[in-house]
Amino acid sequence: MIRRPLLVSASLLSAFALFAQLGTPGRAAAPAAAKPAKLAYNDQVLPILSENCFACHGPDSGSRKAELRLDRAEFATAKRKEGPPAIVPGKPDESGLAQRIESKDEKKMMPPPEAHKTLKPAEIALLQRWIAEGAEYQEHWAFIAPKRPTVPAARGAAGPIDAFVQAKLAENGLALSPEADRRSLIRRATLDLTGLPPTPEEVDAFVADRSANAYERVVDRLLASPRFGEHRARYWLDYVRYADTHGIHFDNYRAIWPYRDYVIRAFNANKRYDTFVREQLAGDLLPARTMDELAATGFMRCNLTTNEGGTIPEETRINELRDRVEAFGATFLGLTTGCAACHDHKFDPFTMRDFYGLAAFLGNTAEKPWDLNIATPDPVLRLPKEETRAAAEAVLARRAELQEKLEARRARGRELVAGWIATGARPRAVPATALELRLRLDENKGDLVKNSAPGAKVTEFKADTNPLVWGENTWLWPSMRMDIFTRLALGDHGDVDAGDKFSAGGWLYLRAKPGGGARTGTGSGSLLSRMGEAKRRGGAGWEIYQEGGQFTVNLVPVIDAAAEAEIEAAAKVAPPPAAAARKKKGSTTTPVVDNPRYAPPAPAARRGIAVTTKGTFPRDEWLHVFFTYDGSRKAAGVKLYVNGRPVETDAKLDTLAAKDSLRTDATMHLGRRDDFQPMRETRFQDVRFYKRALPADEVARLPFEDLAAEIVARQPDATKWSTDENFVVTERFFLGETDVETRKLATAIASHDEAFGVLTKDGEPTLIAQERNAPAYSDILKRGDYYARVERVGPTTPHAMPPLPQGAPTNRRGLAEWLLAAEQPLFARVTVNRMWQEVFGRGIVESAGDFGITGAKPTHPELLDWLALEFRASGWDVKKFYRQLVTSAAYRQTAAVTADRLAKDPTNRWFSRGPRFRMDAEMLRDSALAASGLLVEKLGGPSVKPYQPAGIWEEVAMPESNTKIYTPDKGEGLYRRSLYTFWKRASPPAAMETFDATSRETVCTRRARSNTPLQAFVTMNDPQWVEAARKLAERAMKAEPTARARFDFLARATLSRPLSAAEVGPLTKSAEKIRAHFAADAGAAGEILKVGESPVDAAFPPAELAEWTIVASQFLNLDEFLTK
Amino acid sequence: MRRIAIFLFLAALPLRAAPATFATRVAPALEKHCAVCHGAEKQKAKLRLDSYAAIVAGADSGPVLKAGDPKESELHRRITLPPHDDDFMPSDGKPPLSALDVKVIERWIAAGAPESAEFDAPAAPVVRVAEPAAPDYLPRLDQARKLATTLGVRLVPRSRVTTDGLVLRTASAPRQCDDALLAKLAPVADLIVEAELSRTRVTDAGLRAVATWSNLQRLDLARTGVTSAGVAALAPLAKLESINLTGTKVDERGVSALKANPRLTRIWTFGTPVASSP
Amino acid sequence: MLDLPQVPAALKREWLELETRRHFLGRGSKALGWAGLATILGRSAPHLLASTAALPDQRPHFAPKAKRCIYLFMAGAPSQFETWDYKPKLAAMFDKDLPESVRGGQVLTGMTASQARLPVAPSFYKFAQMGKAGHWVSELFPHTGKVADDLCVIKSLHTEAINHEPAILSMTTGNMFPGKPSLGAWLAYGLGAINEELPTFVVMTSKMPVRTNVQALSNRLWSSGFLPPEYAAVSLRAGNEPVLYLQDPKGVNRDVRRAMIDGVNDLNRQLFERVGDPEINTRIAQYEMAFRMQTSVPDLTDFSDEPASTWELYGEKAKEPGTYAYNCLMARRLAERGVRFTQVFLRTWDQHTVLPERIKVMAGESDQPTAGLLTDLKRRGMLDDTLVIWGGEFGRTVYSQGTLRPDNYGRDHHPRCFSMWMAGAGTKPGISYGETDDFSYNIVKDPVHIRDFHATVLHQFGIDHNRLSVKFQGLDAKLTGVLPSRVIPELLA
């Protein structure tokens, strides 16, 4: 196999230089003849490697072939088992890669035929030349923190921005275009800063104002207007995927519009951008001093949710988490993080561990994934009415101080415990006397569970029928859940009689999941029992039973024939209360008995003891449920405790006779009775059975103190406790139950919360985020499957970026500090790039949501870094930043383009002319309403429903959805700014979707800007636009008598300029045809004037008004009106 | 001469058993898929499969071939495992043997794995390259495009295979297409293999031009003003296979004239005076 | 056509090369006008230049068999037992428990997980062999039975999704999560329009004969995903406004609209002379096309030109806008005028309970119009190059959901096997492909993943599913995704 001589002919190289220059922005068009500059990995080599090699030899270990990785120097040059290293720097002849890419042998050549990728000769030559030049790798530009670039000197440039832009223009043989005329300039600036066109008066005033920095004064006026906040908020709602409905299946209404108000207020108040982000990410963890900081966390609740019947809550939780990490990645890091949910990212240094590390930060919030699609799934903030607002704010501020102190103590938790232990204090264990059975259920795998009671007769039990499900969440340790038909028999433990003293219980977690209809969850059943069904000794035995969130201890005696007769006699007098109670409850849905979806309920015990908790307890929460019985055969002898505290009970049955016995040959069971009545899919931890009646103080120590004692005995050094151990000993035992200072704070906070609740009782609800008081963690999932848990990871930041700043807490607050740290390479760049894109129509990095290896390269890298550092240095001053952009010469250029400029810069990527692009959907509608005088300017408030053709929602919505019927508002609601329009995910506002508005189901950092006939239909025939045209016509006719003057009026109102002479001809010609039609057909005029709710101005003859409505509609359809 | 489409995928159905030998059918398959790791340069598991002797010699873990019994031959077992099985050969993602190759190897082993004697195996599919539908359109595509644009119709390549011909498409503005227009298409007429002329203003006069389109295979004249007289003029179109005359005035005489061309099997006459469409 | 100022061709080629090589087609790309996005080799009108989107080479990879597709989507998932997967042996297994070996420990959906028993429920409806090909056709489909010889029935489809929303998304976009282009969008992008005066991809939702267990349909099922937005479907709505806002307000006739547009475009041309932005030319072209569409779309809904035989074929209900029958007739009229991909949704087949009674109503609604459409296409010579597909998003369980009685039972969701059929455009007529076990629970022969089904549909359009891709977030994204999938040769004539 002959190796082509390395020295490739000069022509090929120069041809390649042209080719390379074409494809890589930012490189000067090096004249072909000069010696080509050294190859830069990021500019020329990386695009070829990522396109052709990284799919199998990139960062993703999952799909890597032949254990070869080419994306980093250390791997590419590593020695290999067989054959030469892929790259030997400086020696292409000895580099396996160089040989392989040249080979024609099908079995050797790279990329292999089945990869459907072929390297062009020029690319092969380039790779060989790069290796010859030493194969130097470069870090990807976006992962290197920005350094302050030197501002290039530029002729007469106004500021640094223009200096950088002019430098790049010069490189490409271009120069700044002349400044736009004053009318275009004020129209452009007003639209960019407020989203609305300037009034003719404002235009004329500016044109007349020849004083210095007249333009700057206009900009300052616009920045100060409340419209600025509304316009900026419109973009932000795309970046955070705000919507007024949940999304999947019912797609019901979701109360979250106060979060939109927060965003508008923040931009208007010019809140520092770092505070703005910190409050949205971790407002509750600051801790929240004002209601704004709480409402800001609405950001965390913007993800899609579902209530589909067949969903599995654990799977839904993972899907919602993936959506959050993907949105966080695109909006704050400009990275396609979502790829790494199933495999290491194939191009960027972002692994599955990084993905699930971020998921641990963002997923430790209190709301339940199965939110029933109701409007206000907890946690919810209710914004109080005016009269109690001040008081509520005061309470919240006070609470924040207390929380601050509490957090300080929690931060020093281990240290405090160590100090406490040093004084000789110890958590007191619960004496293990008569502890017959203790199932820790911490095995975390397999079907065998151990009985760790000291001296236990039987030390191991095996689950059968369905396997146990491990590690779905964590409490004392990773959880165990019984599956649907799991049976865990516990041998002949718990063999006690009515006269014996015994106690039992433990941690449990009742699962909430779709069961159809009102009955969410897994029905009712026995949690721990030694009891058989009626056939077996009359259902004798003892159990603790759950139904409707209430816990019941049943002691059922053996029933023989004689006892039967006795009961019958007694029954005639008064039916046992328990049985009666059950019949009433079950009657609402189809009679429970014959609905096989649930096993029939237990026959009411007719004699014995039944003690039920008065209160009901929530599902989807860990509860420690325990009972003691003193053998007194009296209901009063049974005590029930939840979370270690006694609870009030009802004695539903207290008829245990002296001679009655409970003994049964049924075996003891966890999660069911021996024969039936399982409490399905429940999670259990540390379940115990004592053959004695524990006193209240011992029961109080069962939830945490007993385990804490065990941990401290094993490991007195607090610094060595694992996260789970620390949670038990420090968080829950020491701080939660022992440390006086913390308990005082906790009770004070609780009372403040209660007061706050009262003050905001019937306020306006909005969804907020609340951190769970449990360790944050997440599981790496094989191929992203929700149940394929591979490894548990705590909150960790991506490995290729700087670590968490010193002292930052490992929660969302810490994540916010990490994001805002100076050495964070991406955050500031991604933000300024998007702000630039809003104003210039195109980012310096065109793929605003992907700064990764396959994303676009920055056209002006130095300018991007300068803007990022300037924005940070300015104290994250948003208004100052936009001011800098719109006052730059680059922005003020005329948008007119010459053939030469079009040839050299067809897509305006070098900003060789002023920005000119079709306005977004919201700006278009708002501008039409403003021009017509219909716009109602009211800041904030609930979402509104303007005009929309009938049936659009009804066609797609489910009958059960509460957003099925669309009834447009009357009056004001029809004419509010478009960012207040009700946003239904399954069917976004029809007219706006035609102009590329998104459904807000996934994050969108950049909307498309299509140009289709459907859009022409909207601006010509949508009632909103026809009515706007009529009202605009009325304004013109009221203001001006003659046609020429009216044309001028319309031009000023829509185009911010008078009509030019040349434009009068075509308008007059079309107006004559239109007038002729309406003159001939009077009825037609009447018809068109009926469109829209606003009244018709009777001062004008219908035919004339109809004619001028069409003329006004012409102005609202001009490209010049639709384009900024 | 019948035009046979290119067989794009191996027809797995055995046509008829043709005699095969180790050299002609087994060795090439092993060379293609196995020699990379079991050949001259590399001998994974000390196994070579690039010669009869080496196959018989087997690997370090023992023989890979039991003459007469494919089930017991490790060679056969490895290539018939499910693709994601760890033992599956060829290993780590290299393209698997085709179903036909596996069948051939199985028949070869069953026949006692002869070195040179013939054995019974499904015939290798004959890949017959189709005779081009029309001359290469690429060199004349710009010319065709300009012509179509000025006339207000479209000439769209049927596929990226540049000898597949062009499709004359009028759906965007059927009323724009009339007899005169068809005549003007003469310079590119030989490239046209399909003509969608439904709802256009084409009449018998226009069909005289169409009759010169030598490579035309499919012609749609639905809802046009053509009659039997005009249609008869299409007889010289030797390659015409399908003609749609629904909703025209064509009657029995026109249809029988067309039936003279054996290739023209699909004639649609719904909504015409013709008694009943085929 | 408009004669607008030309731009040097050399510049176009070099600039396209620049853009195409960087595969820049993300959502943000400015895109060209109506779905008629011809290739740079196509229409020479310079407004092509305005687009910065890399223009796809809209030629099929090899000679296509299909030009158009009509996809009849039976949302809710019709049970395969009562429709196409005939299981005579089940009659003897009435109310027996489903053997554990068959279920193989599959996780059950929430709705049947807590059932005490999983009793086998055989089909309440009988089957008979119809046509020369001998398909076993359910008594629910007397009309479709008559055209059975044209059908290519697939009984071994399978998918991963067990819920409607992700399953319908997988069936329409190849992915369980929103944000991906649908099959129709891929074809509009890959092949462009046949008739550029009409939408290339149209979707219609039908009135619901059964209103229980209704599935949510939403724009994400026919969205353009990360392809430019004009490849998304236009939904043709029942009632007097088939395309949103298309109709001029009352009182505005053709002359007024013509005059209005002339005025607008005259001013726009003056603007182009002053500003030179090519996008202005694109907008001028869009307003001209909008004017033409305002006549071409309404004549679609004017059925006066239909022969009397049409109503015998599709049934009288075809005269009532919004019904499934009306939509089938409209589908033929759209295909006749060159609409590339028409998708008709019929809800709801989600019979968790009272299945025998409700599936009869659904089959009744679907049978005659579906058969009428096939017959109509065939007699008009359109079936040769029009691919017709009938099917849902997954199968249903052999065991009854809820109480089993001989004449009343329900079936839960079942992604492991389901049936569909195709017809026309080079599919092999009269065959049945793939087999399920006696309980139609697992596939025993020739499994067809929905990815393979998508690959085969694209193949009939002359498209190699591996090469119709767009670079999105660094991945060459395809309809058939990243997992291996193949064209099924046995389904093709």
Residue A245 confidence (pLDDT): 95
C-alpha gyration radius of chain B: 28
Euclidean distance between CA atoms C55 and A995, whole angstroms = 21
**Closest CA relative to residue A911, chosen from A937, A877, A885:** A885
> Residue A1098, Cβ neighbours under 10 Å: how many?
8
Residue A314 confidence (pLDDT): 87
Lowest mean pLDDT among A144-148, A515-519, A1094-1098, B266-270: A515-519
Residue C44 has pLDDT above 50, yes or no: no
From A659, A685, A701, the end of a domain falls on A701
Residue position matching structure tokens 């992203």? A784
Same domain, A1050 and A1108: yes
**Closest CA relative to residue A374, chosen from A489, A252, A241:** A252
Give the gap in angstroms from C-alpha A61 to the nearest C-alpha of chain B. 14
Same domain, B148 and B114: no
Same domain, A925 and A1035: yes
| pLDDT band per the 50, 70, 90 thresholds, residue B5 | very low
Q: Where are the beta strands (DSSP E) in B105-237?
A: 119-122, 154-157, 166-169, 192-196, 218-220
Helices (H), A490-609: 561-573, 577-586
Residue C28 has pLDDT above 70, yes or no: no
Residue C4 has pLDDT above 80, yes or no: no
CA A26 to chain centre: 35
Same domain, B111 and B144: no
* Set of chain C residues whose Cβ sits within 8 Å of the Cβ of A999: 178, 218-220, 223
**Closest CA relative to residue A931, chosen from A196, A11, A312:** A196
> Residue A1086, Cβ neighbours under 10 Å: how many?
16
Indicate which CATH number applies to the domain containing B217. 3.80.10.10
| pLDDT band per the 50, 70, 90 thresholds, residue B129 | low
Rama region for B178: left / alpha / beta (φ>0; ψ in -120 to 50; rest):
beta
Residue A205 confidence (pLDDT): 96
Same domain, B170 and B232: yes
* % residues pLDDT > 70 (chain C): 87
Residue C23 confidence (pLDDT): 30
Residues C229, A996: C-beta atoms closer than 8 Å = yes
Residue B7 confidence (pLDDT): 38
Each residue's pLDDT tens digit, A228-273: 999 999 999 999 999 999 988 889 999 999 999 999 999 999 999 9
Same domain, A988 and A1095: yes
Residue C337 has pLDDT above 60, yes or no: yes
**Closest CA relative to residue A1084, chosen from A1058, A1059, A1102, A1111:** A1102
- Assess if residue B163 is contained within a domain: yes
Helix (H, G, I), strand (E, B) or coil at C73: strand
CA B11 to chain centre: 11
**Closest CA relative to residue A1088, chosen from B234, B207, C248, C224:** C248
Same domain, B142 and B118: no
Minimum CA–CA partner of B145 in chain C: C42
Determine the average pLDDT of the residues in A451-468: 88
Residue C55 confidence (pLDDT): 59
Each residue's pLDDT tens digit, C275-329: 999 889 989 989 998 998 898 888 888 899 999 999 999 999 999 989 999 999 9
Each residue's pLDDT tens digit, A916-931: 999 999 999 999 999 9
**What are the b/e assignments for A315-326, b being 16+ CB within 10 Å?**
bbbbbbbbbbbb
Same domain, B117 and B68: yes
Residue A157 confidence (pLDDT): 60
From A686, A701, A716, the end of a domain falls on A701
Each residue's pLDDT tens digit, A49-104: 888 888 889 888 888 888 898 988 888 888 888 888 999 998 888 898 988 898 88
* Set of chain B residues whose Cβ sits within 8 Å of the Cβ of C487: 9
Residue A752 confidence (pLDDT): 96
Euclidean distance between CA atoms C347 and C324, whole angstroms = 10
| Amino acid type, A710 | E
Same domain, A989 and A1095: yes
Say if residues C170 and C176 touch (Cβ distance below 8 Å).
yes
Same domain, B113 and B150: no
Residues C195, B171: C-beta atoms closer than 8 Å = yes
Residue position matching structure tokens 């070098």? A910
Euclidean distance between CA atoms A165 and A26, whole angstroms = 12
Residue A66 confidence (pLDDT): 86
Residues A249, C216: C-beta atoms closer than 8 Å = yes
Residue position matching structure tokens 């309404």? C298
Minimum CA–CA partner of A1051 in chain C: C267
Same domain, A678 and A614: yes
Residue A766 has pLDDT above 50, yes or no: yes
- Assess if residue B94 is contained within a domain: yes
Residue A1049 confidence (pLDDT): 97
| Amino acid type, A478 | P
Same domain, A626 and A672: yes
Residue C26 confidence (pLDDT): 29
Residue C388 confidence (pLDDT): 97
Determine the average pLDDT of the residues in A152-176: 87
Residue partners of C200: CB distance under 8 A and separation at least 6: C35, C36, C187, C188, C192, C193, C194, C231, C339, C340, C341
Each residue's pLDDT tens digit, B98-122: 888 888 888 888 888 888 888 887 7
- Assess if residue B253 is contained within a domain: yes
Average pLDDT along chain A: 88
Give the gap in angstroms from C-alpha C11 to the nearest C-alpha of chain A. 7
Range of the domain at B81: 18-122
- Assess if residue A342 is contained within a domain: no
Residue B204 has pLDDT above 50, yes or no: yes
The tally of CA atoms less than 13 A away on the side-chain side of residue C284 is: 24
Between A24 and C407, where is the model more confident? C407
- Assess if residue B5 is contained within a domain: no
| Amino acid type, C116 | A
- Assess if residue A682 is contained within a domain: yes
Which chains neighbour B (Cβ–Cβ under 8 Å, 3 or more pairs)? A, C
Residue A18 has pLDDT above 60, yes or no: no
Residues C282, A1011: C-beta atoms closer than 8 Å = yes
Say if residues A860 and A165 touch (Cβ distance below 8 Å).
yes
Residue A595 has pLDDT above 60, yes or no: no
CA C489 to chain centre: 21
Same domain, B150 and B257: yes
Say if residues A1007 and A238 touch (Cβ distance below 8 Å).
yes
Residues C489, B277: C-beta atoms closer than 8 Å = no
| Amino acid type, A620 | D
Most C CBs within 10 Å: which of B160, B242, B246, as the mutation test of the C interface?
B160
Determine the average pLDDT of the residues in A450-477: 89
Determine the average pLDDT of the residues in A939-949: 95
Euclidean distance between CA atoms C484 and C458, whole angstroms = 15
Residue C108 confidence (pLDDT): 67
Lowest mean pLDDT among A136-150, B50-64, C452-466: B50-64
- Assess if residue B233 is contained within a domain: yes
Euclidean distance between CA atoms A1118 and C265, whole angstroms = 8
Each residue's pLDDT tens digit, C120-143: 999 999 999 999 988 999 999 999
| pLDDT band per the 50, 70, 90 thresholds, residue C10 | very low
Range of the domain at A483: 435-512+524-559+605-701
Determine the average pLDDT of the residues in B29-47: 82
Residue A9 has pLDDT above 70, yes or no: no
Residue A555 confidence (pLDDT): 92
Say if residues B25 and B124 touch (Cβ distance below 8 Å).
yes
User: What tokens were used for A246?
Assistant: 């949940």
Say if residues A918 and A1123 touch (Cβ distance below 8 Å).
yes
Cis amide linkage into residue C348, ω under 30° from 0:
yes
Same domain, B156 and B261: yes
Same domain, B74 and B174: no
CB of C8 within 8 Å of a chain B CB? The answer is no
Residue A1003 has pLDDT above 60, yes or no: yes
Tell me the domains of chain C and their CATH numbers: 30-59+247-293 (no CATH), 68-243+319-491 (3.40.720)
Euclidean distance between CA atoms C120 and C397, whole angstroms = 9
ipTM: 0.81
From B74, B90, B122, the end of a domain falls on B122
Number of domains in chain B: 2
Query: 381-420 in C: which are within 8 Å (CB) of B?
Result: 381, 384
Each residue's pLDDT tens digit, A658-705: 888 899 888 999 999 887 788 888 999 999 999 999 999 999 999 999
* Set of chain C residues whose Cβ sits within 8 Å of the Cβ of B161: 62-63
Say if residues A509 and A682 touch (Cβ distance below 8 Å).
yes
Cis amide linkage into residue A805, ω under 30° from 0:
no
| pLDDT band per the 50, 70, 90 thresholds, residue B32 | confident
Residues B92, A107: C-beta atoms closer than 8 Å = no
**Do you know the residue count of chain C?**
493
Indicate which CATH number applies to the domain containing A485. 2.60.120.200
Helices (H), A1043-1101: 1043-1055, 1061-1080, 1082-1089
Torsion angle of the four alpha carbons A445, A446, A447, A448, in this order, in degrees rounded to the nearest 10: -80
Same domain, A663 and A685: yes
Number of domains in chain A: 4
| pLDDT band per the 50, 70, 90 thresholds, residue C178 | confident
Residues A1011, C283: C-beta atoms closer than 8 Å = yes
Residue A599 confidence (pLDDT): 43
- Which of A952-956, A1027-1031, C52-56: highest mean pLDDT? A1027-1031
Residue A538 confidence (pLDDT): 76
Lowest mean pLDDT among A387-396, A950-959, A1096-1105, C243-252: A950-959
Same domain, B220 and B193: yes
The tally of CA atoms less than 13 A away on the side-chain side of residue A869 is: 15
Each residue's pLDDT tens digit, A277-331: 999 999 999 999 999 999 999 999 999 998 887 778 888 899 999 999 999 999 9
Residue partners of A562: CB distance under 8 A and separation at least 6: none
From B122, B151, B178, the end of a domain falls on B122
Residues A1012, C230: C-beta atoms closer than 8 Å = yes
Residue A586 confidence (pLDDT): 34
From B68, B95, B122, the end of a domain falls on B122
Same domain, A15 and A116: yes
How far CA A491 is from CA of A407, A670, B213, in Å, comes to 46, 11, 91
Same domain, A477 and A406: no
- Assess if residue A163 is contained within a domain: no
φ/ψ (deg, to 5) at A846: -65, -35
* % residues pLDDT > 90 (chain A): 66
Same domain, A419 and A503: no
CB of C175 within 8 Å of a chain A CB? The answer is no
Residue A518 has pLDDT above 70, yes or no: no
> Residue C221, Cβ neighbours under 10 Å: how many?
26
Residue B11 has pLDDT above 50, yes or no: no
Give the gap in angstroms from C-alpha C27 to the nearest C-alpha of chain A. 5
Same domain, A508 and A418: no
* Set of chain A residues whose Cβ sits within 8 Å of the Cβ of C49: 906
- The angle that helices A1102-1117 and A1043-1055 make with each other, rounded to 10 degrees, is 40
- Assess if residue A199 is contained within a domain: no
Euclidean distance between CA atoms B256 and B253, whole angstroms = 5
Say if residues B225 and B200 touch (Cβ distance below 8 Å).
no
Same domain, B92 and B142: no
DSSP single-letter state for residue C305 = G
> Residue C408, Cβ neighbours under 10 Å: how many?
16
Determine the average pLDDT of the residues in A599-609: 62
Same domain, B213 and B264: yes
Closest partner residue to C286 (CB to CB) among A898, A1016, A1063 is A1016
Euclidean distance between CA atoms A868 and A880, whole angstroms = 13
Each residue's pLDDT tens digit, C197-216: 888 999 999 998 888 888 87
Same domain, A548 and A669: yes
CB of B91 within 8 Å of a chain A CB? The answer is no
From A138, A159, A177, the end of a domain falls on A138
Each residue's pLDDT tens digit, A195-240: 999 999 999 999 999 998 899 999 999 999 999 999 999 999 999 9
Lowest mean pLDDT among A734-743, A754-763, C465-474: C465-474
Average pLDDT along chain B: 85
